[in-house]
């Protein structure tokens, strides 16, 4: 396809979408805009975009496709500006926000003006942020959810899917209410719970000084999402407040039932509670991308001696296997420690397993 694509917001998602569109549609021109001029210039320097503009209106007036990749509260403000901008005939506007109910309400003036708005949510992310972390494979095999407005027909949907075909994502069309209920349960709610667990640990650490050291292993892993951008999650929580309120009310009732089981020392009910959770969790797809970025971790039992990290990473480097993070858990003198290596993709992790099995005798584990 040919034409001008304006991407508003030069972060991880906006930058990665730009790379996907550039590769699939080399004749298209990618225009970038961001209030953060440093990130905008970086996007231009890295070749993520072809052109940068200093104002939203300047880029929007010549765009055939406008992708708003900003925090949800900023998206609403941007749509108001676009409503008062002289846009091209047939332009399609979409966003990448993780809430849709309020966004679709804000898009009504655009639809009433005959401008096509299609709500979008690529359900992928990374442990890194900013345009420098952009990558073409970010959305591969991930779900990309659309919530079309009344002004979006089959032709406009096919056009947008064609623009975004380079993402290699799985496109789904869902109503805004269903979208927010789904993401509320599998993404927004877990972030609140993770933050709550960290708050509980923080309070307990005042009484138990060793808690911080003990939490460096599994606890830190299961609460990783609590390290996400607090401004973004404040906005998401407020945007999806009713859904989250309903979920939290049900969760509160469930926790009261757990308290009752503990008080009654009801071993059978406790067993069934944990067993049902285990069975459902074990049945969840392993190779699919979900709402929360997956962590492709490999656990390696290694002896604690100088140079062990260099040794392992050298083997991976020989095979040109990229890693995103590396750390050691519970390592002490004279005992085995656990080296944890994180990879960008499950394929990289599988290659690492083959490599290390061939070159070492260390025990390897995958969760």
Q: If you average pLDDT over residues 271-297, what whole number do you get? A: 79
Quickly name the fold that domain 296-365 has. VC0802-like (3.30.2130)
Architecture of domain 3-174: 3-Layer(aba) Sandwich (3.40)
Q: How many Cα atoms are found within 13 Å in the side-chain-facing hemisphere of 171? A: 19
pLDDT over threshold 50, residue 289: yes
How confident is the model over 141-189, as pLDDT tens digits?
889 999 999 888 899 999 999 999 999 999 999 999 999 999 999 899 9
Dmax (CA) for the chain in angstroms is 72
Q: What pairs with residue 117 in β-bridges?
A: 93
Contacts of 320 (CB under 8 A, 6+ apart): none
pLDDT over threshold 90, residue 193: yes
Indicate the pLDDT class of residue 340, thresholds 50, 70 and 90: confident
Top-confidence residue, 55 or 210: 55
Say what the pLDDT of residue 334 is: 39
Shortest CA distance to 169 belongs to which of 150, 193, 141? 141
pLDDT over threshold 80, residue 290: no
Indicate the pLDDT class of residue 331, thresholds 50, 70 and 90: very low
Indicate the pLDDT class of residue 304, thresholds 50, 70 and 90: low
The boundaries of every CATH 3.40.50.720 domain in the chain are 3-174
Distance, C-alpha 47 to centroid of its chain: 23
Distance, C-alpha 202 to centroid of its chain: 26
Q: If you average pLDDT over residues 266-274, what whole number do you get? A: 96
Tell me the pTM.
0.78
CA distance 157 to 143: 16
pLDDT over threshold 70, residue 291: no
Distance, C-alpha 312 to centroid of its chain: 29
Shortest CA distance to 323 belongs to which of 301, 292, 355? 355
Place of tokens 């300047």: 58
Top-confidence residue, 291 or 176: 176
Say what the pLDDT of residue 332 is: 38
CA distance 223 to 4: 41
Q: If you average pLDDT over residues 85-108, what whole number do you get? A: 94
pLDDT over threshold 60, residue 361: yes
Architecture of domain 179-282: Orthogonal Bundle (1.10)
CA distance 153 to 51: 30
The boundaries of every CATH 3.30.2130.10 domain in the chain are 296-365
CA distance 195 to 229: 12
CA distance 315 to 317: 5
Contacts of 271 (CB under 8 A, 6+ apart): none
pLDDT over threshold 90, residue 40: yes
CA distance 32 to 111: 24
The token pair that represents 63 in the structure block: 């765009």
Question: Mean pLDDT for the chain?
Answer: 89
How confident is the model over 239-261, as pLDDT tens digits?
999 999 999 999 999 999 999 99
How confident is the model over 41-51, as pLDDT tens digits?
999 999 999 99
Say what the pLDDT of residue 367 is: 65
């Amino acid at each position: 396809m040919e034409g001008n694509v304006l991407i508003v917001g030069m972060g991880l998602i906006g930058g990665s979408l730009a790379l996907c569109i550039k590769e699939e549609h080399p004749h298209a021109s990618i225009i970038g805009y961001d209030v953060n001029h440093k990130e905008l210039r970086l996007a231009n320097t890295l070749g993520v975009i072809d052109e940068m503009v200093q104002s939203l209106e300047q880029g929007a007036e010549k765009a055939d496709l406008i992708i708003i990749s900003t925090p949800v509260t900023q998206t609403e403000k941007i749509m108001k500006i676009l409503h008062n901008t002289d846009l091209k005939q047939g332009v399609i506007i979409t966003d990448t926000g993780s809430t849709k109910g309020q966004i679709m309400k804000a898009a009504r003036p655009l639809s009433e003006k005959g401008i096509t708005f299609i709500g979008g949510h690529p359900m992928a992310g990374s442990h890194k942020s900013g345009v420098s972390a952009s990558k073409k494979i970010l959305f591969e095999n991930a779900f990309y959810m659309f919530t079309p407005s009344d002004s979006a027909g089959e032709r406009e949907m096919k056009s947008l899917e064609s623009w975004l075909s380079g993402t290699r994502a799985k496109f789904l069309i869902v109503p805004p209410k269903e979208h927010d209920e789904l993401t509320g349960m599998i993404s927004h709610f877990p972030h609140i719970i993770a933050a709550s667990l960290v708050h509980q640990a923080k309070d307990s650490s005042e009484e138990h000084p060793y808690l911080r050291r003990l939490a460096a292993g599994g606890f830190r892993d299961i609460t990783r999402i609590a390290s996400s951008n607090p401004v973004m999650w404040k906005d998401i929580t407020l945007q999806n407040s009713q859904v989250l309120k309903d979920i939290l009310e049900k969760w509160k009732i469930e926790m009261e039932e757990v308290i009752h089981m503990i008080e009654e020392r009801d071993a059978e009910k406790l067993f069934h509670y944990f067993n049902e959770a285990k069975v459902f969790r074990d049945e969840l797809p392993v190779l699919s991308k979900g709402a929360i970025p997956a962590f492709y971790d490999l656990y390696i039992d290694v002896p604690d001696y100088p140079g062990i990290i260099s040794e392992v990473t050298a083997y991976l480097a020989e095979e040109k296997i990229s890693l995103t993070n590396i750390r050691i858990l519970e390592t002490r003198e004279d005992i085995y420690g656990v080296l944890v290596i994180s990879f960008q993709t499950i394929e990289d992790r599988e290659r690492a397993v083959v490599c290390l099995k061939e070159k070492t005798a260390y025990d390897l584990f995958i969760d």
